Amino acid sequence: MSHLTGKRVAILATDGFEDSELTSPLSAVVEHGAEAVVISTETGTITGKNGHEQEVSLTSADARAEEFHALVLPGGVVNGDQIRLDAAAVSLTRDFFAQHKPVAAICHGGWILADADVLQGRTVTSYPSLRTDLQNAGATWVDEEVVVDQGLVTSRTPDDLPAFNAKLVEEIAEGKHAGQSA
């Protein structure tokens, strides 16, 4: 399976990420031929809430959406809360939408979408505690394992990773989506 050969996928996270929500999508895109690049607020190593250590390739301040084909936002309460406070990460996320590129957020990764102001009129899912935040940001929230809305892929929890990964790979393979915009 190499239908993502030549594609670069950004994975934006920091300490406290939900381990499987970073490692599973990373493995899925690499398995399909893409290059996965882990981006964080600082260089070095980030650690998941269950102890997985992941090397950071690029800082959010140095990352440019035009250098990638898609963006993945893993969950984890601490991760989601910290990433949305980083102005460069919020701007980077918004740029993926402005460039009509696929974006995938799982669990608490949806928080950054609210801060990036890209949810107006979109249908999404997330960890249930984000429902009000995402609705207040203009989204229609539904309780489904995976939701795809014009290149935006969202899921609720690690239990949804098989469906999330399948849709992530599919959306990256499809490329830009005209309806994906900031």
pLDDT in tens, 160-176: 999 999 999 999 999 88
Element (H, E) at 165: helix 161-174
Distance, in Å, from the CA atom of 92 to the CA atom of 71, rounded to the nearest integer, reads: 9
Distance, in Å, from the CA atom of 85 to the CA atom of 79, rounded to the nearest integer, reads: 10
Catalytic residues: 107-108
Distance, in Å, from the CA atom of 142 to the CA atom of 146, rounded to the nearest integer, reads: 9
**pLDDT mean across residues, the chain:** 96
**For residue 41, which amino acid is it?**
T
The model's pTM is 0.96
Q: Cβ(72)–Cβ(20) under 8 Å?
A: no
Res 89 pLDDT > 60: yes
Each residue's pLDDT tens digit, 19-46? 999 999 999 999 999 999 999 999 999 9
What share of the chain has pLDDT > 70, as a percent? Answer: 98
